[in-house]
Structure 1
Amino acid sequence: MLDTGTTGIIVGILLFFMLTFGVHIGVALGLSGVVGIFLAINPQASFAQVATIPFSTTNSFTLAVIPLFILMGALASQAGLTTDLYRAAYRWLGRISGGLAMATTLASAIFGAACGSTIVNAAVFTKMAMPEMTRFGYDKRISAGCIAASGTLASLIPPSVLMIVYAVITEQSVARLLIAGLIPGILSAAIYMLGIYFIARLYPKLCPIPDERFTLREKISSLKGVWGIMALFTLVIGGIYLGFFVPTYAGAVGAFGAFMIVLLKGRMNSRALIETFKDAGITTSTIFIVVIGGIIFARFLTYTGLVRDVSDWMLAMELAPLTYLLAFAGLYLILGMLIDPIAIMVMTLPIMFPVMTSVGYDPIWLGVISIKLAEISLITPPVGLNAYVVRSSSPVPLTLEQVFAGITPFLVMDVLTLALLIAFPSIVTFLPNLMN
């Protein structure tokens, strides 16, 4: 058997080449982990991981909440809740400078409370909002950037798939993490909207004010379309916060609630139902492949002692806690330019989580910071996943260069939000600390 250092180098090179040649990140992580265990321990140990981990991972009661939340979002979209949300937000904000973009941000944030998937969020609002914003004369860059950035809000605002993945990897409370993301998610949306307002005031040609006006009665009338999302959010997050049910039960209740809303609105037929379940299944499978591969890779890191060795080496430097945090943030941002957020988390947290908690950082607060960094990675070039989703889903002709150009001011806003969360940790920990 090879020594740990040699095995680590071989596995690192193997993983790098597989990612370079386009191998799916979950498959690349899994194969690298299997090869590493094969070389460092023995063939039987590596085959045992392949035989047991896929079942033990997908058989997890905690991870069962992921497909339920994804299904809830898919059903909410099928019910037309996004259209109702967008219409209401536009009627209330349309006449403000940058109001249409602000309406998109607000509607996207609220839909994130029933969705949990940034990809679904970005795709839905690209198809809906992009034609509207360009029709009213909005610059395509700012429109695309707004949609791509707003889509990431589903990562923080509960329910969040990334929060669940973080909880599973770090063995933290799913309920506390979901609740912890609520205030930071609202803060992120508020900073986006404030930033849009200032951009529109400085460069009014980018965001012209529509001529269309609405009476107060029409504005109030539009709110009746928001009841579905608010009911789901109250049911799921309220139930978790008050301790009525655990997150997995909340996911089941939310999915059933979304299904009932679809039936009440008369927007369900057999073909739509099949497509909704199929899309939810594909999204879930993609996430689970990454998680399974990541856990196999994490087992390699643990069995060979690499986690302990790297953690001990980093802690032995006795740096200031803020230095470790900056290194953690830098690692996320660099990897975010290359791979998707779930892969980043399953690759980095087995090593970095023990280091960060050892120097005094609260694990729940660290989870929200990790998710915020993952949000930023979703819109950073060259592999900002949400940018590609917006580009491919847009009914309006759009280039990647235009999307990334529009994203730039939102990256600045994200850095501001991140700085506030770091400077004032109670923004994150306030609500979880009130839970029983």
Structure 2
Amino acid sequence: MDASTAGLLVVAVLMLMLIGGVYIGVALGLAGMIGIWLTSGASSAFAQLATIPFSTTNSFTLAVIPLFIFMGSFATQANLTTDLYRAAYKWLGHLHGGLAIATNFASAMFGAASGSTIVNAAVFTRMSMPEMTALGYSPRLAAGCIAASGTLAALIPPSVLMVIYAVITEQSVAKVMIAGLVPGILTACVFAASIYVRALRNPDLAPTPVAMPPLGERVRSLRGVWGITILFVLVIGGIYGGFFTATSAGAFGAFGAMLIVIAKGRLNLKSLMEIIKEASISTTTIFIIVIGGMLFARFVTYTGLITDIVDWSLALELPRLAYLLGFILLFLVLGMFIEPIAIMVMTLPIIYPIMTSVGYDPIWLGIIAVKMAEISLCTPPVGLNVYIVRASSPVPLALEDVFAGVTPFLLMEVLILALLIIFPEIVTFVPDLMD
């Protein structure tokens, strides 16, 4: 069968499987196998099935994923979130919407340890949702703040999404992760500013600010953030300073987080086994998607479909901005139905060559891709973080309230995305210094 016909058939089969509820990693792998079978024969298809799972997972670069997951799990066990939250509230609680602002920054800081948007959203929903609603905060503001700030874990390094992007596009994991630092901080600051302005203009959203605690009390609250500070300096400082690779940084971070748990007396055999279990499940889930995506990518590569699509797209001679808008629209639409890792695995083998061919910087493009994945985590109908907040909330919360609450933050995301496009130096400045 010729490549074009096989490509159309395989895409149709893939869509049917996804609509039918087949797990995305399995669907991608089966679609890729069918495509190779149709174009190269059964022996070739089974040969790929026999080699790709091992060659994909037997990767020093991908080893960073379970290491960062372990680091996040140990950080959660060490109860670093509570310490961060209390310190942030001591310093920011006197502002309009101060508790929501504190939640936003605490979530951003914890994202530097967890690397998981799901973990961030679940942890801060259980911890800060009861606090905010008990003090009179609007449930919509509280839920929207938690859902949106939880996505910062995708942008602030270390991030699993950034590792996936770097592996698929064969870019430096260290550079891609460092590139997300300034955009991540910028996003957290814009979120905080928007909360303050909204609470100032509409007092019904948040109660009257509390009095600022004495300076000594605020300084003492910083004692609780030593753990997250050590992890951040160890991982990001080590990578940026060139002391070790991203994978080694993950190992140091995981080991450091374990030592913090031990120092706090919160590690026992039962908790250790639970951490290993959770990290193993998360890692396996991600790796199944990556393996399935690699099988699918091998099909489109072997058949020449990628070359044909790239040549056809470039032959249109569209303005560079048109290609970028198409890239953003594709991520936005797919993000309404599919999780971010799967989107990257499915689209980047085809879209990345087109975008780099028209002149876009690979590192900058990675941050735009992660930013779009971040936005997709809060967009209906399948905004994963929205559902996590709804499911984890200890107080009654309707799904429509979470979507309504997160909408103003999505508008801020659009503003930040525009800034990153207009001023790409926001992304590229720090990675360029590494050269």
TM-score range, shorter chain: over 0.9
Match of 1:338 in 2: 337
Match of 2:291 in 1: 292
**TM-score, normalised by the number of residues in structure 2:** 0.99
Distance across 1 between alignment mates of 2:271 and 2:394:
21
Distance across 2 between alignment mates of 1:210 and 1:183:
29
Match of 1:383 in 2: 382
CA contact 1:113–1:154 (8 Å) conserved in 2 = yes
Match of 1:48 in 2: 47
CA contact 1:72–1:258 (8 Å) conserved in 2 = yes
- SS across alignment from 1:238: helix
- SS across alignment from 1:408: helix
CA contact 1:94–1:209 (8 Å) conserved in 2 = no
**TM-score, normalised by the number of residues in structure 1:** 0.98
String of CA shifts for 1:42-77, please: whole Å, max 9, x gaps.
Answer: 111111111111111111100000000011011001
String of CA shifts for 1:237-268, please: whole Å, max 9, x gaps.
Answer: 10011110001111000000000000111111
Superposed displacement of residue 338, structure 1? 0.6
Match of 1:181 in 2: 180
Match of 1:72 in 2: 71
1:68 maps to amino acid:
L
Match of 2:18 in 1: 19
Match of 1:203 in 2: 202
String of CA shifts for 1:380-409, please: whole Å, max 9, x gaps.
Answer: 111111111111111111121111111100
String of CA shifts for 1:362-388, please: whole Å, max 9, x gaps.
Answer: 000000111001100111111111111
For structure 1, the 5+ residue unaligned runs are: none
Superposed displacement of residue 212, structure 1? 6.3
Distance across 2 between alignment mates of 1:26 and 1:203:
45
- SS across alignment from 2:203: coil
Superposed displacement of residue 288, structure 1? 0.8
Match of 2:106 in 1: 107
Superposed displacement of residue 209, structure 1? 3.0
CA contact 1:99–1:209 (8 Å) conserved in 2 = no
1:363 counterpart = 2:362: yes
Following superposition of structure 1 onto structure 2, how do residues 166-315 of structure 1 map, counting pairs within 5 Å? 166-211=165-210, 214-315=213-314
Distance across 2 between alignment mates of 1:407 and 1:93:
21
Match of 2:92 in 1: 93
String of CA shifts for 1:309-339, please: whole Å, max 9, x gaps.
Answer: 1111110000110110000000000000010
CA contact 1:339–1:383 (8 Å) conserved in 2 = yes
Distance across 1 between alignment mates of 2:185 and 2:209:
26
1:116 maps to amino acid:
G
- SS across alignment from 1:380: coil
Distance across 2 between alignment mates of 1:221 and 1:56:
50
Superposed displacement of residue 211, structure 1? 4.2
1:415 maps to amino acid:
V
Match of 1:147 in 2: 146
Superposed displacement of residue 214, structure 1? 2.2
What percent identity do the matched residue pairs reach?
67
String of CA shifts for 1:80-123, please: whole Å, max 9, x gaps.
Answer: 11100000001111110111111001000001111111111111
Count of residue correspondences: 435
Following superposition of structure 1 onto structure 2, how do residues 370-409 of structure 1 map, counting pairs within 5 Å? 370-409=369-408
CA contact 2:91–2:212 (8 Å) conserved in 1 = no
Distance across 1 between alignment mates of 2:354 and 2:257:
41
Superposed displacement of residue 12, structure 1? 1.1
1:141 maps to amino acid:
R
